[in-house]
Each structure stands twice: as C-alpha cells, then as structure tokens.
C-alpha cells in the first residue's frame, strides 16, 4: 500500500539517520470514501461504512497551514513509554496529545467514483492516514487511506531512489558525502582533520549549522555547528 522514497543509512551513515529524517516530506495519497478501518488505511479491518459522496475540493483549505493533529493509535508514537500500536493491538485506546504539524501543499491530482488522489507536502510527524479520515468526516462520511507514495523525503527524491532489490545487492547506493550535499560545508586542513576525528578544538568562521566538516580530499569527517568561532560536533565519523 505504501511505496516511494525511504532513506536508509548503512554503517557509519547511521550516525546521520536522525539528521536525514527531520525534513519535510511529499506524498501522493489516495483516499477512498465509504469505508473506515481500524488502522485508517487499507491494511486494517473495516469498522464502519458510510455513503459515497462527491468530493468537494474546497474542504482542503482547512487542512493547509499549521494546526494540531492527534496521532493515530496505530503509530510508533509513545505514550507513557509504550508504543501506541502495541496498545492498539491489545485492544486498548490511549489518550494522545495533539501535536503541531504543518501542511505546505495540499492539492487534488485526480477524483473518481468514491476516491480522491492528492498531492501532499508536510512537516515531519504528519500522518496522511489521519488526514484521510478527517477529510471523509468533513464530507459527512467515512474513509481511509487506500494508497500512499512518498515522492520526496527531505532532499531525497524518487529520481534518486533505487529498488529494494538493487539496494540489497549494493547497487546505486549513495555516498555519505552525497547524502549531506544539501548542507553547507567547511573544508579543513590535514592537521585539523586529525583534530576533528578525535573531537579536538578546531576554529571556524561563523556559519549557520548544521554543516559538513570535510577533509582536504572532500571526505566527510563530522557534522557540526559553529559556536564562539569553534566547531561543536554533533556527529564525528570514524577515521
């Protein structure tokens, strides 16, 4: 049901996973009206049915911008140290705190009998499944997310993606340097490179972080901020 771009970090690149998953996402999403499921998507069990009514594009306006969204029970969000999906599978419903999300783009790509396909661009933490359910409710019926394709994850797009088969075979993998090429960078000398790899003090010109610290040959040494004219490391790579 879900396809598209998923950044996967291997080896030393796992140090960058959190940095690479914090950006805006883009999707193509299909919402089917008339049936609701316990997971809010096509993989769940049908729990309610309703009328199939024509979609009204004017409804999208209320779901653009910044607002509060309540995470679904079938999600990895933790409440009291427990993942919501674990509670959901045990038949429990836990109280969830709404979280601030931002939708920068929400447009109709296609409509048909009982469905609408949408282009969505949103902040991290936004659940398209919840959008599908709330759109149906706004129409006066029920619905669920029947297909989802992530077209962009931060700086990574479908054009850069490789199949799971190729990735497992080591084909088309991206270098660490290419993965962070969208960030500003600073290049240091060989002597300073050794200091960086040991977490030592290295002076740098003021810059808005995070930035890539590169060695003389362009190899990524660390991700850092500049504070007080000195590099403050977020992540240091292995030598």
Q: From the DSSP assignment, how many helices (H) and strands (E) are in the chain?
A: 6, 15
Q: 61 preceded by cis ω (within 30°)?
A: no
In this prediction, residue 239 carries a pLDDT of 67
Q: Is beta strand 156-157 parallel, antiparallel or unpaired with respect to 143-153? A: antiparallel
Helix H or strand E encompassing 157: strand 156-157
Residue with tokens 């009328």: 51
Q: With a cut of 80, say whether residue 150 has pLDDT above it.
A: yes
Structural domains present in the chain: 24-156 (3.30.2350.10), 176-236 (2.30.130.10)
CA angle 10/13/17 to nearest 5° reads 95
Q: Express each pLDDT in 213-234 by its tens digit.
A: 999 999 999 999 999 999 999 9
Q: What is the DSSP string of 113-142?
A: TTEEEEEEEE-TT--HHHHHHHHHHHHTS-
**Average pLDDT score over residue span 36-48:** 96
Q: Tokens representing 199? A: 């977490």
**pLDDT value at 207 more than 90:** no
pLDDT at 20: 82
Query: Contact 109/118 with Cβ under 8 angstroms?
Result: yes
Residue 127 — left, alpha, or beta (φ > 0 → left; ψ -120 to 50 → alpha)? beta
pLDDT at 21 over 90: no
For 13, residues 6+ apart whose C-beta sits below 8 A from its C-beta are 176, 179
Q: Sign of the C-alpha dihedral, residues 135, 139, 143, 149? A: negative
What is the chain's mean pLDDT, rounded? 93
**What is the mean pLDDT of the segment spanning 142-149?**
98
Q: Angle CA(49)–CA(54)–CA(98) in degrees, nearest 5?
A: 60
The token duo for 148 is 């989802």
Secondary element (H or E) of residue 168: helix 164-168
**What would the pLDDT profile of 165-197 be if each residue is shown by its tens digit?**
999 998 999 999 999 998 999 999 999 999 999
The phi and psi torsions of 194 (rounded to 5 degrees) equal -65, -35
Residue among 58, 66, 110 nearest 119 (CA):
110
Question: How much of the chain exceeds pLDDT 90, in percent?
Answer: 79
What is the per-residue pLDDT for 23?
78
Higher model confidence: residue 20 or residue 64?
64
CA dist 5 and 224 (Å) reads 26
Return d(Cα 21, Cα 185) in angstroms, integer. Answer: 19
Q: pLDDT confidence of 81, banded at 50, 70, 90?
A: confident
**pLDDT of 90-129, one tens digit each?**
888 888 999 999 999 999 999 999 999 999 999 989 999 9
Most distant CA atoms of the chain, gap in Å: 70
Distance CA 83, CA 200 (A): 39
């Amino acid at each position: 049901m879900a396809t598209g771009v998923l950044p996967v970090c291997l080896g030393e690149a796992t140090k960058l996973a959190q940095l690479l998953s914090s950006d805006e996402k883009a999707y193509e999403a299909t919402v089917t009206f008339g049936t609701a499921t316990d997971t809010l998507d096509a993989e769940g069990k049908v729990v309610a049915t309703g009328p199939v009514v024509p979609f009204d594009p004017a409804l999208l306006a209320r779901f653009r911008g910044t607002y509060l969204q309540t995470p679904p029970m079938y999600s990895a969000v933790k409440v009291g140290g427990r993942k919501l999906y674990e509670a959901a599978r045990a038949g429990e419903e836990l109280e969830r705190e709404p979280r601030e999300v931002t939708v920068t783009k929400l447009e109709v790509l296609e409509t048909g009998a009982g469905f609408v396909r949408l282009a969505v661009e949103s902040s991290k933490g936004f659940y398209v499944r919840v959008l599908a359910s709330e759109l149906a409710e706004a129409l006066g019926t029920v619905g669920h997310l029947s297909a989802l394709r992530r077209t962009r994850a931060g700086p990574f797009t479908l054009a850069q993606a490789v199949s799971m088969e190729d990735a497992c075979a080591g084909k088309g993998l991206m270098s660490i340097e290419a993965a962070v090429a969208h960030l500003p960078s600073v290049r240091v000398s060989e002597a300073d490179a050794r200091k960086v790899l040991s977490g030592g003090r290295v002076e740098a010109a003021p810059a808005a972080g995070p930035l890539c610290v590169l060695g003389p040959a362009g190899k990524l040494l660390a991700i850092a901020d500049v504070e007080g004219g000195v590099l403050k490391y977020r992540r240091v790579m292995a030598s």
